[in-house]
Amino acid sequence: MSPGIAARVVPVKYKPKFTADFVIDAHSHIQSGVTAPLPLLWDQVPGNVKMPRELIADLLGIKNQNDAGEISKNTIETIAERLVKEQNETYKGSKLLEEKPYKEGMTDLQKAEELFTGKAHIFSPTIIMPMDMDFAHIAGFPPESSTIYHEDSKDTVEMVAVKQGESLDGAVYLDGTYYKNKTKGSVERVIYYERSDAFAAENRGDVVDVSDEKPNHVWKYQAYYLQHEATVAAVKKNPWSLIPMFHYDPRRWCKLDPSEMDKKRWTYGPWDFPFKYIATLKNAGMFIGFKMYPPLGYKPLDPRLPNLEKFYARCEAEGIPILTHCSPGGVGTHEATFYHKLDKADLTKQPDRIVSCMYDPSTPLGYFYDEYVHPKNWRPVLMKYPKLKLCLAHFGGAEWKEVGIASDWVEEITNLTDSNIVQGQNAGGEIHFENVYTDVSCYNLKDGRTRRNVAELFREMDSSRRYSHLQDKLLFGVDWYLSLVTGAPAYQEFVERFFDTMSESDQWQWYRSAVVNPAVFYRLDNSILLKNMNSALADATEKSSKQQEGFERIKTLPTRVETIRNEFAKLKQASKK
Classified as helix, coil or strand, 109 is helix
DSSP 180-218: EEEEEEEEEEEEEEE-S-SSS-GGGSEEEE-GGGSGGG-
pLDDT along the chain (577 residues), means of 10: 38 70 94 96 90 91 88 96 92 54 52 44 91 97 95 76 87 87 76 94 93 90 96 95 98 94 93 97 97 98 97 98 95 97 92 79 94 97 98 95 92 97 93 97 95 96 94 97 93 92 92 96 97 89 78 92 92 80
Q: What is the pLDDT of residue 7?
A: 35
154 in any annotated domain: yes
The neighbour count for residue 475, using CB atoms within 10 Å, is: 28
Cα separation, 41 vs 34, in Å, equals 10
DSSP states of 488-542 = PPPHHHHHHHHHHHHHHH-TTHHHIIIIIHHHHHHTTT-HHHHHHHHHHHHHHHT
pLDDT at 529: 97
Buried b (16+ CB within 10 A) or exposed e, 287-308: bbbbbbbbbbbbbbbbeebebb
pLDDT of res. 169: 87
Dump pLDDT digits (tens) for 336-348. 999 999 999 999 8
Q: How many domains does the chain have?
A: 1
Residue 102 has what pLDDT? 40
Please choose, from the candidates 403, 402, 399, 421, the residue with its C-alpha nearest in 3D space to the C-alpha of residue 465. Answer: 421
pLDDT the model gives residue 322? 98
The answer to whether residue 166 sits within a structural domain is yes
Residue 478 belongs to some domain of the structure? no
Q: Would you state the pLDDT for residue 150?
A: 95
Q: Is residue 194 part of a domain?
A: yes
Taking the CA atoms of residue 482, residue 488, residue 489 and residue 492 in that order, the dihedral angle to the nearest 10 degrees is -60
In the chain, the largest separation of any two C-alpha atoms, in whole Å, equals 112
CA pair distance 153, 234, nearest whole angstrom: 35
Q: What is the spatial distance between Cα 435 and Cα 318, in angstroms, rounded to a whole number?
A: 13
pLDDT at 112: 46
Range of the domain at 189: 150-216
pLDDT at site 133: 97
The per-residue pLDDT for 185 is 65
Burial of residue 270, with CB atoms counted within 10 A of its CB: 0-12 exposed, 13-18 middle, 19 or more buried: middle
Q: What's the CA gap between 219 and 398, in Å, rounded?
A: 34
- Look at residue 51 and give its three-state secondary structure: coil
171 belongs to a structural domain: yes
**pLDDT tens column, 142-183:** 999 999 999 987 666 678 888 888 888 888 888 888 888 877
Position 156 scores a pLDDT of 65
216 C-beta neighbours (distance < 10 Å), count:
5
Residue 189 belongs to some domain of the structure:
yes
In a domain, 306, yes or no: no
- pLDDT score, position 43: 94
Decide if 167 is inside a domain.
yes
pLDDT of residue 104: 54
